[in-house]
């Protein structure tokens, strides 16, 4: 299908496994917003993907609402971008099935994200679902459905994108040139560490500040952050370059905050508790404009946007599937 706007295309998604957090904003969402003018953008709530490790679906509908509300509050513009829910486009499941026939199992087993997931979930081989192993194939189907040329992602998703390129290449080799090989577009902060300073900030890790956190919750979470381990007493000089709280100050504070703070910390003029109070204030200010806009996006408004998005995405998805069935000679 010809690109209607002549622009290159993007697809990206997030899973409705919880509330959006600062990592999403810096690692993906800010980039998504910027890309809207340059690309034809498809932004998807990946609810089938959520099932791979969250079988309890009772919060899915709420999470879908909050996620899309936050996308809109952060600047995703439905007049420019197509916003939809994965499961409302059944074509994705058909492409997933067809692609799954092309993917050797070892490609999936050696995927670092798969190995990490199995380790984090503390499950043995007998408990690994077919769906979890197939996660990158479903992701490839989502991306390829819109013939996306680029996928804005965080660093954790790069191995999946490499697999998508291999799957696209393999499809084109067997059935003719149908799919482009998408490139990853990394945001400047492609991995925001969580409050624990260990893992990436993630909604499943309980180490996050969500985009709708109240000032009180933010202050409490920030107070619990680890700081420079070598600084025990207030009089010990700090090492800001090793401190997660300092990194957050550089990301969420005003432009001149890091230089002043670096000096004060290294010369023990400011203690960690005060530094965290400052950070809580920065984060609160940083989130205020988004939180103001969140109020505008009611459930009805979000539902209307998702309905429109499903119609727009459906046109593209049907066209791609016609082409795929023809190329594969499977009606």
Active site residues: 117, 200, 203
Q: Is 92 in the site for ligand ATP (CB under 6 A)?
A: no
Q: Is 117 in the site for ligand ATP (CB under 6 A)?
A: no
Tokens of 244: 């997660």
Name the residue nearer to ligand ATP (CB basis): 118 or 324. 118
Contact with ligand ATP (CB under 6 A): which of 9, 15, 160, 221?
15
d(CA 324, CA 318): 10
In DSSP terms, which residues pair with 42 in a beta bridge? 11, 82
Q: Is 85 in the site for ligand ATP (CB under 6 A)?
A: no
Q: Which residues contact 146 (CB under 8 A, 6 or more apart)?
A: 9, 11, 42, 313, 316, 317, 320
Contact with ligand ATP (CB under 6 A): which of 9, 27, 31, 63?
27
Q: Does 113 belong to an annotated binding site? A: no
Helix (H, G, I), strand (E, B) or coil at 193: strand
Q: Is 19 in the site for ligand ATP (CB under 6 A)?
A: no
Helices 244-252 and 257-266, packing angle to 10 deg: 160
Contact predicate 11/146, CB 8 Å: yes
Q: Is 200 in the site for ligand ATP (CB under 6 A)?
A: yes
Name the residue nearer to ligand ATP (CB basis): 172 or 250. 250
Contact with ligand ATP (CB under 6 A): which of 30, 88, 94, 156?
156
Q: If you compute the radius of gyration of the chain from its CA atoms, what whole number of angstroms results?
A: 22
Residue with the shortest CB distance to ligand ATP: 27
Closest separation in Å from C-beta 260 to ligand ATP: 26
Binding mask of the shown chain, residues 177 to 196, with x at each position contacting ligand ATP by CB under 6 A:
-------------xxx----
Q: Which stretch binds ligand ATP (CB under 6 A): 23-31, 84-92, 253-261, 270-278?
A: 23-31
d(CA 151, CA 158): 10
Element housing 8 (H / E):
strand 8-14
Site for ligand ATP in 203-262 (CB under 6 A): 203-204
Contact with ligand ATP (CB under 6 A): which of 134, 154, 182, 238?
154
Tokens of 44: 């998807």
Contact predicate 237/200, CB 8 Å: no
Name the residue nearer to ligand ATP (CB basis): 93 or 204. 204
Instruction: Starting at the earlier edge strand, list the strands of the sheet with 8-14.
Output: 81-85, 39-45, 8-14, 150-153, 183-186
Q: Does 15 belong to an annotated binding site? A: yes
Q: Is 160 in the site for ligand ATP (CB under 6 A)?
A: no
Q: Which stretch binds ligand ATP (CB under 6 A): 32-40, 199-207, 235-243, 277-285?
A: 199-207
Closest separation in Å from C-beta 267 to ligand ATP: 31
Contact with ligand ATP (CB under 6 A): which of 10, 11, 14, 265?
14
Give the phi and the psi of residue 82 in degrees, each rounded to 5: -95, 120
Element housing 11 (H / E):
strand 8-14
* Residue labelled with tokens 């909604």: 203
Helices 158-175 and 112-121, packing angle to 10 deg: 130
Question: Where is the binding site for ATP, in residues?
Answer: 15-17, 23-24, 154-156, 192, 200-204
Question: Rule CB under 6 A: which residues touch ligand ATP?
Answer: 14-15, 17, 23-24, 27-28, 153-154, 156-157, 190-192, 200-204
């Amino acid at each position: 299908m010809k690109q209607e706007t002549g622009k290159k295309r993007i697809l990206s998604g997030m899973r409705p496994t919880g509330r959006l957090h600062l990592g999403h904003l810096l690692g993906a969402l800010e980039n998504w917003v910027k890309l809207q003018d340059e690309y034809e953008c498809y932004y998807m709530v990946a609810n089938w993907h959520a099932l791979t490790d969250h079988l309890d679906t009772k919060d899915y509908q709420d999470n879908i609402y909050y996620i899309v509300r936050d996308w809109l509050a952060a600047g995703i513009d439905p007049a420019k971008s197509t916003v939809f829910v994965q499961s409302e486009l059944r074509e994705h499941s058909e492409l997933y099935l067809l692609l799954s026939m092309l993917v050797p199992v070892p490609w999936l087993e050696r995927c670092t994200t798969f190995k990490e997931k199995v380790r984090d979930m503390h499950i043995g081989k007998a408990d690994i679902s077919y769906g979890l192993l197939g996660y990158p194939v479903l992701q490839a189907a989502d991306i390829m459905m819109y013939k996306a040329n680029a996928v804005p992602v965080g660093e954790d998703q790069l191995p999946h994108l490499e697999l998508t390129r291999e799957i696209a290449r393999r499809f084109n080799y067997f059935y003719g040139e149908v799919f482009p090989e998408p490139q990853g577009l990394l945001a400047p902060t492609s991995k925001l560490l969580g409050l624990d300073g260990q893992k990436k900030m993630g909604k499943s890790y309980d180490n996050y500040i969500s985009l709708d956190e109240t000032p009180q919750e933010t202050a409490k979470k920030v107070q619990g952050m680890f700081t420079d381990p070598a600084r025990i007493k207030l009089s010990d000089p700090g090492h800001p370059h090793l401190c997660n709280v300092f990194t957050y100050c550089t990301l969420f504070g005003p432009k001149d905050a890091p230089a002043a703070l670096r000096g004060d910390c290294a010369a023990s003029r400011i203690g960690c508790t005060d530094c965290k109070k400052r950070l809580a204030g920065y984060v609160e200010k940083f989130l205020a404009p988004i939180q103001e806009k969140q109020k505008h996006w009611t459930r009805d408004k979000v539902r209307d946007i998702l309905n429109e998005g499903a119609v727009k995405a459906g046109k593209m998805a049907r066209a791609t599937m016609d082409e795929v069935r023809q190329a594969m000679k499977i009606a």
